Amino acid sequence: MSADASAGQAAPAKANPNGPTEETVLSVEHYTDRLFRFRTTRPQSFRFRSGEFVMIGLPKEDGKPLLRAYSVASPAWDEELEFYSIKVPDGPLTSRLQKIQPGDKVLLGRKPTGTLVLDALTPGKRLYMFSTGTGFAPFASLVRDPDTYERYEQVIVTHTCRDVAELTYSRTLIDSLTSDPLVGEMVEGKLTLYTSTTREHHERMGRITTLIENGKLFADLGVPRLDPATDRAMICGSMEMIQDVKALMIQAGLTEGSNAAPAEFVIEKAFAG
Ligand code: A2P
């Protein structure tokens, strides 16, 4: 330390070691007037498991940050971070977040967490990931993680949205995986995306709950109905969707798991704000 620096000057204010870090927006893609994704820098110290969520936000004029929970949509190995977001016109955060541009700063919490992780499930043969709307985000992470394919023989991702345009993110992403250098060969013959719409005409229509109950999901996929001996499931969507799909899992004999007590299915609310 130089003599000048120690000459009775106050130490510079230290950044809060537990507070969010400031990350740079690298790209933004808008899918519909309700949905977009963005990618940001990732600090080297930021560790997470594919499927977890973290607080994301923007600084507020009064200095207090405005943060909301977001699933990380990129896999754990990725050097960047990806997020998939709804745009709520009067949402305190998303009304502003939807305007971000490359080069802008966003705040990133330091403590990712969550139950939609492979470690919260007991081993099985087939993994279902049931999602609606932005509930696809944690699965966008898990389908890009080689660990998913090392643990399961078959991976079935279901995504149900109001209209066809809202399926763009999941469809584009899953399509791109066959040429992915890391998981390209692993997804072949193992990974299936099963989409449906509920409000716009589409080749397949209906809520996922209906498609499970009437057996169409299993008939279309050519697999047996849910069986706790072979099947594992992750559920992410609105509170109502989770409750309804969860009831069907319990009815099929599957038990809910957690990080502390892994079992046959796990749930997480899709975040919005
Ligand atoms: P629906 O159009 O019949 O409400 P949202 O964009 O509102 O989050 O909805 C995403 C998708 O989730 C929609 O297709 C919606 O169907 C469906 N959905 C809403 N509630 C449930 C539920 N309780 N169980 C299953 N699917 C649901």
> pLDDT per residue over 72-131, tens digit each?
999 999 999 999 999 998 999 999 999 999 999 999 999 999 999 999 999 999 999 999
Pocket of ligand 1 contains residue 208 by CB under 6 Å = yes
Query: Per-residue confidence at 15, pLDDT binned at 50, 70, 90?
Result: low
Residue pair 81/41 in contact (Cβ under 8 Å)? The answer is: yes
Q: Which amino acid is at 182?
A: L
Over residues 204-245, the pLDDT tens digits come to: 999 999 999 999 999 999 999 999 999 999 999 999 999 999
- Residues whose CB falls within 8 Å of the CB of residue 248, separated by 6 or more in sequence, listed in order: 209, 212, 213, 226
Does 150 or 65 have the greater pLDDT score?
A: 150
Tokens of 222: 């050519």
DSSP 177: G
Tell me what pLDDT residue 9 has.
Answer: 45
Reply yes or no on whether the pLDDT at 7 is more than 60: no
pLDDT digits (tens, 9 = 90+) for 235-267: 999 999 999 999 999 999 999 999 999 999 999
Residue with tokens 């600084």: 59
pTM recorded for the entire structure: 0.93
Q: Which residue has the higher pLDDT, 8 or 147?
A: 147
Q: What is the pLDDT of residue 63?
A: 76
Q: Is 198 in the pocket of ligand 1 (CB under 6 A)?
A: yes
The response to whether residue 200 sits with its C-beta less than 6 Å from ligand 1 reads no
pLDDT at 8 over 50: no
pLDDT tens sequence across 150-192: 999 999 999 999 999 999 999 999 999 999 999 999 999 999 9
Ligand 1: residue of 241, 246, 269 to mutate (most ligand atoms within 8 A of CB) is 241
160 CB near ligand 1 (under 6 Å): yes
Dihedral angle sign, alpha carbons of residues 249, 83, 160, 204:
negative
Q: What ligand 1 atom has the least distance to the C-alpha of 270?
A: 8
pLDDT at 14: 53
For ligand 1, atom 12, the nearest C-alpha belongs to 132
Ligand 1 atom at minimum distance from 34 CA:
6
CA atoms within 13 Å, Cβ hemisphere of 79: 1
Neighbours of 159 (CB within 10 A): 26
What type of residue sits at position 202? H
